[in-house]
Amino acid sequence: MEKCTFCIQRSREGQLPACAEACPTGARVFGNLLDPKSEIRYVLANKKVFRLKEDLGTEPKFWYFMD
């Protein structure tokens, strides 16, 4: 068992992480938070999102969203 690295080897080549690519429902969104035109920025701006244990101040980079 190892910690998820969001498939850094794939993302460096411009590919999605394997989990996002394989997700049949499109429930996983991956992208560059610095790019204002990225899909992830759209989701964060237009969907109801939350992060687990955000109140601990650890700044998690994994959001959960709902329609």
The pair of structure tokens assigned to 37 is 């035109």
The residues spanned by each domain of the chain are 1-30, 32-67
- Would you place residue 23 in the very low, low, confident or very high pLDDT band (cuts 50, 70, 90)? very high
**Chain centre to alpha carbon of residue 66:** 14
Supply the mean pLDDT for the chain.
91
The helix/strand/coil state of 41 is: helix
pLDDT at 29 (0 to 100): 92
pTM: predicted TM-score of the whole model, two decimal places: 0.74
Mean pLDDT to the nearest integer, 48-65: 90
- Dist CA 9 CA 44 (whole Å): 25
